[in-house]
Amino acid sequence: MAEHSFLDGRLTWHVPGGELSLAVDAQAVAQGVTAAVGYRLGEAGRSLELAGPDVSFGAGEKLVTFSRHDDHLRLDWNWTAHGDGLEVWLEITNQGERPVAVDRLDVLLVEQLDLPGPVADWRFYQHGWQSWSPTGVRRVGDGPFPAPDSEGYRLMHLPHGDGLRSEWVAVIEAAETASQREETPPSRVGKGGRGIGLLFGFVTTADQLAEIALDAGDEFRRLTAACHTDGIPLPPGGSLRSERLRIAAGHDGWSLLSGWAGRVAELMHARVPDKTPSGWCSWYYYFGSNTAQDIYANLNAIRRHRLPLDLVVVDDGYQAAIGDWLTLNADRFTDMAAVAATIRREGRTPGIWTAPFGLAADSHTAVQHPDWIVRDEAGQPAFAWNHWPASIYALDTTHPDAADWLHTTFRTLREWGYTFFKVDFLFAAAIPGRRHDPGATRAQALRRGLAVIRDAIGDDAFLLGCGLPLGPAVGLVDGMRIGPDVAVTWESLLPGDLSAPGTANAVRNSIARAFTHRRLWAADPDCLLARPRGDSSQLSLYEARTLAAVIALTGGMLLDSDRLGELPRARLDMLRQTLPPTGRAAYPLDLFERDLPELLVLPVERPWGRWWLAGLINWSDQTRTTRVELAALGLPPGRYHVYDQWRAQYLGQTDGPLTLPNHRPHETQFLLFKPVADRPEWLTSTFHLMGGAVEVVDVIRQKLGAQRQKLVVHVEQAGENFGRIVFTVPEGWIVLDAQVNGRRRAVNVRAEGARLVDMGFTLHDRGWALVDVGQT
């Protein structure tokens, strides 16, 4: 059989069968590869597949194109190499004399996938459609995430059906069997262990909803990467291009996902703010019953406690109805411009919530403009969601008058003084239905609406998306909610619904999508609830700490949602320990090994030292003993100090496994690891959970002769904070002096596997601590 190879041997075209195979490291991993388009001519459904002996091809240095046509369409399948991956897209042209309706573009169809190990044991990264949709890694044999059997759930989270489907991006990671491991070259062993991972991810996302579907169980049947074109008409002579799909291989699924996000950011011109925002939000304490006075009371508490919270967000409850945003609920708010002005006078940024792509059935806007509503196949208003208890219809963002109204609404909110906009329930713009513009896909309808909002609020305003299908938002939003709502309970009140409000659900998704942070946007893991159990919360101390730890470790936005004036001192300290956001996301080392990842690690390197921060999560409902190997945390071989950042407790030194007894239910042990040295060292700061990664601005070592040294640590953190600065003093050294801000302190030297100088003090914005040590 004749064969033709392209792009450095990564593509092989088999003639006369007319099928393609893909190779990684000179080894074929996918065979029987083709593409297709599904379309309709009148009522008749048709398909044109790019396979067979009549396929033509042309190749240049960087591009190869395979082509096939029928009586109506020409199909061009384009491949190119980019970096260490391949990218592919379809173009179709209507060569007939009649319009056709294009339903889907199958950019990649794979009939055989040659990966190591049993198919059932492959791990599949399943990315949800919108902010709240379950996201994480599933064992293929276990099937997709469990989901409620309801129309409402399918509307919100399963736009293309159930099964092992992943929106925009998927990674399949396969571990090798024992016999295969013996034959694996060392070059193919990476951070993720032995085996291989394949990424399939669309790197343009503006025009079509796109998915990767894996049909497999005990056996592999097919993989499809498809773009949904929603039946849009293609006139004679018209052409249409699919989104661009990237295929890459590696041994570390997290790195593959991070690389995919970087490529999307490049092609979609992602907006990443210079600073990751922090602030306060009214929702999770008042739940829509807040008044202007409640906003002012919390604003005063921010000032009184000197909390470094930049934003104050007025959430749901100020408006008369969903869709009537400029008409106020007069019992609670009478002048939203005055609220914004007050927030700004306090030196904070005013923020406001809307759900702009929904219209309450009884809202003035819906009653006056029924033609602005998306319609179902029967011509009835398309239902989007229930909003306590109003029925909400979907706004047709392709209707010119609706777009003008949307622009006027947001321009007015901006004129009121708001520059931070939390826009929610945005999936409504992309639900199935009939729209004013029949040539717009669901993705284009959604993106048009977002573009109108962006134009109205200006380029300098911050736009935070929530309940939003992620792909079409890239390049328009500055921030993105990456998980379900948190809640005042750990588990969801809707068992079996991983998208429902619940702190565990929010934490799970935030970990699985943290790679998007500062690549595609500022990621929003949702609000911190720092208040104690009993104050409108059922979260235990350990559950609240887990929420705080994951927000800190994933590095994203931090909006607290407590009644700040009533927070006890200990819970204020918890909040302060997370501020400001770190801006960097930790690595979930076991994401591809467990349904619920337990190991988050963030390496930190500064001119004055290197350390690792680890979050070890106990997802179970029982207290357990946790044992972890240093190598499992990605630490280089050596001996390490171990410090518990939550408890401000030194746990000793180790060069092997670490055992943590009494690991409480739903608790995250937050540990700092720093290499042991033979000289005095600064160990940690507890003013921030990150152990000095945020608040320590300099560490100076002064050598005073051959046998004497001073260590000075400079700390900066806005507000008033209590914490500890800890130094290690090895045997053979003595402490001569200790100071905080120039005042001598009684030397507190403790011996717990190492000699420590442990100084606690209240930091007012900035300060320094010093130890003077000499050799004996």
The mean pLDDT value for 48-77 works out to 93
With beta carbons less than 8 A apart as the criterion, state whether 68 and 36 touch. no
Distance CA 322, CA 325 (A): 7
pTM of this structure: 0.96
424 is catalytic: yes
**Which residue among 76, 485, 524, 526 is the active-site one?**
485
Q: Do 329 and 360 touch, CB atoms closer than 8 A?
A: no
pLDDT band at 2 (very low <50, low <70, confident <90, very high): confident
**pLDDT recorded at residue 26:** 77
Taking residue 18's Cβ as centre, other Cβ atoms within 10 Å add up to: 18
Of 278, 166, 250, 261, nearest in space to 213 by CA = 166
Residue type, 430: A
User: Do residues 572 and 309 touch, judged by C-beta distance below 8 A?
Assistant: no
∠ Cα 128 232 43 (to 5°): 110
Q: Which of 414, 421, 423, 280 is nearest to 337 (CA)?
A: 414
In angstroms, what is the C-alpha Rg of the chain?
28
The secondary structure of residue 432, as a DSSP letter, is: S
Give the phi and the psi of residue 620 in degrees, each rounded to 5.
Answer: -75, 165
Residue at token pair 């009140």: 493
**pLDDT at res. 1:** 53
Q: Which of 173-177, 451-455, 653-657 has the highest mean pLDDT?
A: 451-455
Please determine, for residue 382, whether its predicted confidence score (pLDDT) is greater than 50. yes
Which tens digits make up the pLDDT trace of 299-351?
Answer: 999 999 999 999 999 999 999 999 999 999 999 999 999 999 999 999 999 99
Residue 90 identity (one-letter amino acid): L
pLDDT of residue 493: 87
Q: Which of 14-18, 113-117, 550-554, 557-561 has the lowest mean pLDDT?
A: 14-18
**What is the reported pLDDT for 176?**
66
**What phi and psi, each to the nearest 5 degrees, are found at residue 610?**
-135, 135
520 within 8 A of 479, measured Cβ to Cβ: no
- What is the distance in angstroms between the CA of the first residue and the CA of the last residue of the chain? 81
Give one word for 221, left, alpha or beta, with left for phi > 0 and alpha for psi -120 to 50: alpha
Is pLDDT at 748 greater than 80 in this prediction?
A: no
Residue 190 confidence (pLDDT) above 70? no
Catalytically annotated residue among 252, 424, 497, 526: 424
> What is the average pLDDT across 146-150?
94
- The residue assigned the tokens 């004055």 is 608
Enumerate residues 6+ apart whose C-beta is below 8 A from 616: 598, 599, 626, 628, 660, 663, 668, 669, 671
Torsion of CA 369, 447, 210, 479, to 10 degrees: -120
Q: How far is it, in rounded angstroms, from Cα 108 to Cα 90?
A: 9
Given this model, what pLDDT does residue 185 score?
Answer: 41
Residue whose structure tokens are 């100084």: 759
Q: Is the pLDDT of residue 194 over 70?
A: no
Q: Find the mean pLDDT for residues 31-44.
A: 95
Residue with tokens 């049993």: 118
**Cis omega before residue 730 (within 30°)?**
no
Q: Residues 27-56: what's their mean pLDDT? A: 93
- Distance set, CA 208 to CA 221, 322, 434, 694 (Å): 25, 28, 16, 40
Name 322's Cβ contacts closer than 8 Å, sequence gap at least 6. Answer: 355, 358, 359, 360, 363, 387, 390, 392
Per the annotation, the verdict on 54 as an active-site residue is no
What integer is the mean pLDDT of 436-441?
A: 98
From the list 206, 230, 227, the residue with the least C-alpha distance to 477 is 206
Reference 178, options 199, 167, 194; nearest CA is 194
- d(CA 214, CA 342) in angstroms, rounded, equals 53
Mean pLDDT of 466-485: 98
Domains and CATH numbers, the chain: 2-268 (2.70.98.10), 678-776 (2.60.40)
Burial of 714 (0-12, 13-18, 19+ CB in 10 A): middle
* Cα 78 to Cα 66: distance, rounded to the nearest angstrom: 7
- Average pLDDT over every residue of 479-498: 96
For 322-385, where are the alpha helices, taking DSSP H only? 336-345, 364-368
226-241 burial code (b ≥16 CB/10 A, e <16): bbbbbbbebeeeeebb
Nearest to 641 by CA among 666, 658, 628: 658
Residues whose CB is less than 8 angstroms from the CB of residue 469 and which lie 6 or more positions away in sequence, other chains included: 129, 130, 159, 167, 209, 426, 427, 430, 443, 446
DSSP element (H, E) containing 299: helix 292-305
Instruction: Give the span between the Cα atoms of 507 and 619, in whole angstroms.
Output: 11
- Classified as helix, coil or strand, 376 is coil
Q: Percent of the chain, pLDDT > 90?
A: 90
Q: Which has the minimum average pLDDT: 24-38, 73-87, 378-392, 658-672?
A: 24-38
Q: Is the pLDDT of residue 184 over 50?
A: no
* Paired tokens of 595: 């349904």
Whether the pLDDT of residue 482 is over 90: the answer is yes
- As a whole number of angstroms, the distance between CA 710 and CA 732 comes to 15
Q: Name the pairing type of β-strands 681-685 and 189-190.
A: unpaired
Side chain identity at residue 167, one-letter code: E
Asked if pLDDT for residue 614 goes beyond 50, the answer is yes
Q: Among 731, 504, 450, which residue's Cα sits nearest to residue 620?
A: 504
Which range among 5-19, 359-373, 671-685 shows the weakest confidence by mean pLDDT?
A: 5-19
